[in-house]
Each structure stands twice: as C-alpha cells, then as structure tokens.
Chains A and B, each alone.
Chain A
C-alpha cells in the first residue's frame, strides 16, 4: 500500500516536472514454443540487451540510457499486458509438403497429410489460407520460380476439390529464395522441395 502511495506521488512529480513526455517498457517473453530470443533496446543514450525470459527494461527519454534490466513476475506481466496478450490470434497452423526432385508430384508421406490439412481448414472455418511453393537451389532462379508455382498450384487444386473457397486462398511462389535449409547454389536438398500451407 505504501508503495502505491510512493508511486502515485512519483507520478505526480514526473507529471509536473516534465509535462509532456513518454516512457517505454520492453519485456522479453518466451515464444509460444518456449524459445527465448534476444532484444537490443537502444537509443542515443546507450543500449541494453535482454536475453532471458521476462527480463524488462524501462526507457524514459531518447537521450537517457535505458534503465537497469529487471526480471518481471508473471503477475506483473499479466497486470500490464493482459489485454494485448489475450487479443493475440491463434498462431497460424502450418503444414509442409515435400515433392519429388524437379517434379510437381508429392511424396507419399506428404500425400498422407492432406486429410489433416483439409480438417484444419474446416475446424477453423478459415478464410485465409496461404499456399507457397519452394524449390531447392538446383537450376536457374527463373526455372525454380515456375517450378515452385506449379507445386503451389497442385495444392491449390486439391484444396478447391475438397471444398475450400478460391477467394480464401492466396497462392505464392518463392522459387529458391526462401529455403528451409540454407544451402549453396545448385545443391539438391529434398527438404527445400516443398509447398507450405499456412492456415490462419
């Protein structure tokens, strides 16, 4: 209780002293899969690095160095951010389907995933599906762009046959530009010969 009084007094003090300004607080939290990344919070005054779960830093002025790094409790995080956190959409469901080399034919393992994809579209009543085609780095950029488009169109056809609405689907072709596994040019890599279906 005493603390709150101090904070209120403090707030008034700042209000009258500074008049017009802002204060930022940044908190690093684990990703939905539990992974914790890294943040660098920087301004004219200096920088702070956050790389552990629930670390936070406050910044009060562009010219003043960011404050000390503090670990917030779950309760403190919830109190400050409950609205923003509960507004988070479900992360998109992503399926990866693999293709035979230099072909728009699905591998048997990937063909077996199709019912699950169709089910997920129905479960979410999704009207926002993105199909992206990809290749490995064997062949020219132009050739691979066309090949990955062919692969994406195969999935587009399958989803349409199974009741998805064409207006809900976006088809994109990434060619060899967005590999799952980074390789040198002209490397045959089965894991890059793929179509990703993202259901949002």
Chain B
C-alpha cells in the first residue's frame, strides 16, 4: 500500500523536475537525531543538520529519530520517530505576493508552528492528513497519524 503510494507520488513529482531549473532552498534542518532522509527526484538521500530542503521533498525519520526544520518564512516543523511528511508545495515570494505552503503528512508525529506565510496569507496554508485537511490561523499545533 505504502510502496504504491510512494510510486504514485514519485510519478507525479518527477516529471516537472526533469525540466526544471535549479530550485531554491525552502528551508534547513536545524536539529536532527538518528536517521533522517528525503525522497527527492525519486532518490532517497540521507540528511543532517544544516542541509537544505526543496519543494516536493518527502521527509522521513527512522526509529528513535527526530528532525527539526525552519523554513524560509520561519515556519517551524519538527517530526518524531517513524514519521513521513511531503512538502507538496512551498512558495515564499512576498515581493511577488505569492505565498503557499501545502504539506501532506503520511504517518508519525509532528509539531507545526506557522510563520510569515501563515500570518500574511492563512488561506494559503494547508496541512493534509490521510483523513482530513487542517486549515490554520496563525498558530501552533500537533498532529499524529497512525496506521491500524
């Protein structure tokens, strides 16, 4: 089920990247422990504190692992062990008035503290779980997604 989902995501995500110019970094890893990886352009890459993230990254933590990220707009996202979050869309271009952050959580635990995008344009922030969509107005929240 999960493999299928990843395959599906990879097929959707990959094509734009094949022709895209260099993408800007959307945030950086500030804290990490254990195994942190991203699926990027169909490849799994392991990451450490200080590494950059890009739009469409799917971030994964292993057993006994955790990660803390600060995005360009100061959104703070941290993830507990065995968690998986896809940054489906992230655009922070206030000079053009374009702001957007769409996140999809597939499993695990996370804390989300909204930044400038959430403050300036709350309607542009969406956080999806497999069962629901969370819309927020300038705030911090926690999410847990577990399989059964």
Residues of A within 8 A of B (CB): 11, 14-15, 18, 20-32, 35-43, 50, 59-62, 64, 66, 77, 80-92, 94, 127-128, 130, 145, 172-175, 177-178, 198, 200
- Offer 5 A-B interface pairs, CB within 8 angstroms, sorted by A: A22-B107, A24-B144, A39-B136, A77-B142, A90-B30
B93 → A minimal CB distance (Å) = 9
Interface secondary structure of A, over-half rule: mixed
A173 → B minimal CB distance (Å) = 7
- Of B6-14, B15-23, B40-48, B74-82, the one with at least 4 CB within 8 A of chain A: B74-82
Judge whether B144 and A80 touch: CB under 8 Å: yes
Judge whether A88 and B139 touch: CB under 8 Å: no
Judge whether A84 and B148 touch: CB under 8 Å: no
Q: With contacts A37-B136, A200-B28 known, is A81 near B144, CB below 8 A?
A: yes
Which residues between 78 and 115 of chain B lie within 8 Å of chain A, taking CB atoms?
78-81, 83, 94-97, 105, 107, 109-111, 113-114
Interface secondary structure of B, over-half rule: strand
Chain B hits for A23, CB < 8 A: 131, 145-146, 148
Contact flags B25-41 to A (C-beta < 8 A → 1, else 0): 00010111100000000
Q: Once the chains are docked, how many angstroms separate the CA of A30 from the CA of B111?
A: 12
